[in-house]
Amino acid sequence: MTRILDRYIARHIMVSAIFAIVIILIILILGNVFKEILRELAERPVSLVFVLKFIGLVIPFALSLAIPFSFLTAILLTFGKLSADSELVSMRMAGLSMGRICLPVAFISIFFTVICAWINLSLSPWAKSEMEGMKDTLINKAKMDPLLLIKDEEVINEFPGYSIYANKEDGILKDFQMVRSSGPLPEAIALAKNARLRVDMETDELIVEMEDANLMFKGGTGDFMDSSQPVFTSFFPTGISLEKFKSDNSRLQPENLALFDLIEKSQDKELEPTVQATLLTELSMRMAFSVSCITFALIGVPLGITAQRRETTAGFVFSLVIAVVYYVLLTMAQMKREEPELFPHLLVWIPNVLFIGLGIALFIKVSRK
């Protein structure tokens, strides 16, 4: 008898939760995809592969938000309906306690917590890191196609210390001109009939291969005009380091760090207190956000019973209010992540503690009725 009841409650919660997850996923994915694709289209054409890959990377982030909210909605709808139809009264008259009735909710909350923990601790940071690699940064342009770095018949100053000008024609740079300088005066000038670009992934260098080149280098003494001598060569390769752009692109971003990297870096005593507090707060955020499924289960059951609502719209509105309050409190705590004296890694647990305490109090009150 109790197994039938468990399956009945679990089925209603899972069906409602999955339905809500699908709806929220569609909304979040479409919003992120349109925003990112429009931004990328302003810089360069994007392929279908790019769009599909981006959608795949948005899914983990969207799931981390959708699962807790959908689970809360499902609980409110299910127990609101059970209460409105007097099914809970029948269960209590059969001798079942509220704890026993809510047993399937406990198992489902643990299941969703494990899923959210895996997403928040491992999958979502990886996806965010991959999304950074898809952005229109200099080093990513170079990896996709070095020619994207050069604009046709325009002077390029994106490389510190270099100015480059060329005509792009059939994958080759015609009438190539490059000036290297460390101040107002040049140190080297290169003029070439043709030039080709490639990226050396091992050294993180942009290799410029010049053909029929005329080179001028600054000598040991005097300024450039007095000490330079022209050199003619049929082929001359030179490298421009991309290391600066690589380090800028992969600078310390706690939300993009894998779990073990985040733990390791957060334990580094040589870090500045603000940086260490930020890392610890990010680690606590991921864990606290994962536990939100249990938190919502504790507060959702008594609120669903008390509200006694059968309407789907009312359940969504009620769950939205709870979720917004929870996320606002969590965001307010996270905003203090650069103030180590306030122990921000502990502040992010306050929403869970408050809602769990309120949920337990309401659950005890409902159980005594």
62 lies in the same domain as 191: no
Q: Which residue, 363, 344, 359, is CA-closest to 288?
A: 344
Q: Which of 211, 230, 246 is the last residue of a domain?
A: 246
| 114 vs 265: CA distance, rounded Å | 24
Residue 337 has pLDDT above 90, yes or no: no
- Do 149 and 124 belong together in one domain? no
Q: What angle do CA 152, 156, 157 make, to 5 degrees?
A: 170
Q: Write out pLDDT tens, residues 173-215.
A: 888 888 888 766 778 888 998 998 888 767 778 888 899 888 8
Q: How many CB atoms lie within 10 A of CB 153?
A: 10
Residue 52 has a CB neighbour count (10 Å cut-off) of: 10
Residue 353's pLDDT is what?
92
pTM for the structure as a whole: 0.68
Element (H, E) at 255: none
The residue ranking higher by pLDDT, 83 or 148, is 83
Q: What is the mean pLDDT of the chain?
A: 80
Task: Answer for the pair 156, 165: CB distance below 8 angstroms, yes or no.
Answer: yes
Q: Are residues 226 and 206 in the same domain?
A: yes
Residues 183 and 77 in one domain: no
pLDDT for 111:
94
Residues 6+ apart with CB under 8 A from 336: 281, 342, 344, 347
Q: Are residues 273 and 131 in the same domain?
A: yes
**Token pair belonging to 89:** 């009264």
- Do 231 and 356 fall into the same domain? no
Query: Which pLDDT belongs to residue 250?
Result: 44
* Whether residue 311 sits in one domain with residue 241: no
Domain identity same for 110 and 7 = yes
User: Token match 């100053």: residue?
Assistant: 157
Task: Count other C-beta atoms under 10 Å from residue 321's C-beta.
Answer: 10
User: In the prediction, which pLDDT does 144 show?
Assistant: 58
Which tens digits make up the pLDDT trace of 24-41? Answer: 888 888 877 776 666 655
Domain end call among 201, 218, 246: 246
Number of structural domains, the chain? 2
Length, in residues, of the chain: 369
- CA dist., res. 303 & res. 361, Å (int): 11
Higher pLDDT among residues 367 and 349, named by residue = 349
130 and 258 belong to one structural domain: yes
Task: Give the percent of the chain with pLDDT over 90.
Answer: 12
Domain limit, last residue, from 187, 219, 246:
246
pLDDT of residue 15: 92
pLDDT at residue number 222: 62
Determine the Cα–Cα distance for residues 256 and 268; give it in Å rounded to an integer: 18
Band of the pLDDT at 249, cuts 50, 70, 90?
very low
Q: Determine the average pLDDT of the residues in 55-84.
A: 87
Q: Give how far Cα 163 sits from Cα of 58, 69, 157, 206, 269, Å.
A: 37, 52, 5, 14, 42
Q: 168 and 68 share a domain? A: no
Domain co-membership, 128 together with 267: yes
The three-class DSSP label of residue 195 is: strand
- H or E stretch covering 254: none
Residue 167 domain boundaries: 144-246
| Cβ neighbours, 10 Å, residue 33 | 14
**290 and 353 share one domain:** yes
